[in-house]
Amino acid sequence: MTVLYKLETFEGPLDLLLHLIDKAEIDIQDIPVSEITEQYMDYLQSMQELELDITSEFLVMAATLLSIKSKMLLPKPPVIEFEDFEYYDETDLDPRAELVERLIEYRKIKSIAVQLMDMESERSLIFTKEPEDLGSFVPTQLENPLKGLHTADLIAAFRKALSKAARRSSYQRITRDEISVKDRIREVSEALRSKGAGGRLRFSALLHDEMARHEIVATFLAILELMKMKAIYCYQEKLFDDIVMEWRGGDDFSGLQNAEISY
């Protein structure tokens, strides 16, 4: 039957000693060196049986424990009494004192390390990002347009507006010159007949920059009427090019006289 040993991993001999003390529920100020030394040596022997590497620190601690154990077995030196006080060697009072002090300091450091690990674990759950300028999200306060003005200034501005309104009270009626489609047909046909039979004229030549919108519409309707009466022929040399008008009505086109156009 195979027996398996599971040994805990310790960071050093002080960690192992502190584990043995806590496991045995021993007061750290009053360590039974003989018992702890036996447990410590048993642990080292188990490591050797499992062919685990034993560092020099564990061996030094083993030697320290054996030394303390041997000192505990020796009788205490006699106290030299004087008339006013008693003298004794402080180094031989308790050979465990130095080890106890080291264990107490190590326990403090280990406790702090555990707290730091807990803080690190909590901090790992928090995600951060690089700081950025949040000035664009701050609401901007618009400057008061009436800042520095008083009631007297507003009254003066109101009176000035009233005076301007009084001057604008006079007005006159403006009338525009009306042009009929029939008159525009006559003008377009005359422009084409002046070029002779087969005369050509571009649509853009009938327009100018100062022409009103209703005049442009009347010109376009006049061309449509001339096409309907077969007086002109319209075409484009290429797509989206200017419209070319060609006269087909002859020198004397009587159809214009009989045309009845109501626009």
Q: Look at residue 262 and tell me whether its pLDDT is greater than 80.
A: no
What confidence score (pLDDT) does residue 116 get? Answer: 92
247: exposed, middle or buried (C-beta count within 10 Å: 0-12, 13-18, 19+)? buried
Express each pLDDT in 213-257 by its tens digit: 888 888 888 888 888 888 888 888 888 888 888 888 766 555 555
Give the Cα separation of 236 and 74 in Å (integer): 129
Buried-state track 126-158, b at ≥16 Cβ within 10 A, e below 16: eeeeeeeeeeeeeeeeeeeeeeeeeeeeeeeee
Is the torsion defined by CA of 160, 163, 169, 171 positive or negative? Answer: negative
Q: Look at residue 109 and tell me whether its pLDDT is greater than 80.
A: yes
Which of 27-31, 71-75, 79-83, 98-102 is the least confident region? Answer: 79-83
Give the Cα separation of 184 and 165 in Å (integer): 42
What confidence score (pLDDT) does residue 115 get? Answer: 92
Cβ 27 vs Cβ 119: under 8 Å:
no
Which of 3-12, 37-46, 104-113, 177-186 is the least confident region? Answer: 3-12
Express each pLDDT in 125-180 by its tens digit: 888 888 888 878 888 877 777 777 777 877 888 888 887 776 665 556 666 667 78
What confidence score (pLDDT) does residue 117 get? Answer: 92
Closest CA to 232 of 199, 183, 263: 199
Closest CA to 256 of 181, 199, 195: 181
- Indicate the average pLDDT of the chain: 77
Is the torsion defined by CA of 10, 16, 20, 21 positive or negative? Answer: negative
Give the Cα separation of 32 and 96 in Å (integer): 10
Q: Look at residue 5 and tell me whether its pLDDT is greater than 50.
A: no
What confidence score (pLDDT) does residue 158 get? Answer: 80
Q: Kindly report the number of other CB atoms within 10 A of residue 90's CB atom.
A: 8
What confidence score (pLDDT) does residue 167 get? Answer: 66
For the residues 97-113, what does the mean pLDDT come to? 87
Q: What are the structural domains, with CATH classification, of the chain?
A: 13-121 (no CATH), 181-258 (1.10.10.580)
Q: How confident is the model at residue 119 (pLDDT cuts 50, 70, 90)?
A: very high
Whether this model's pTM surpasses 0.75: no
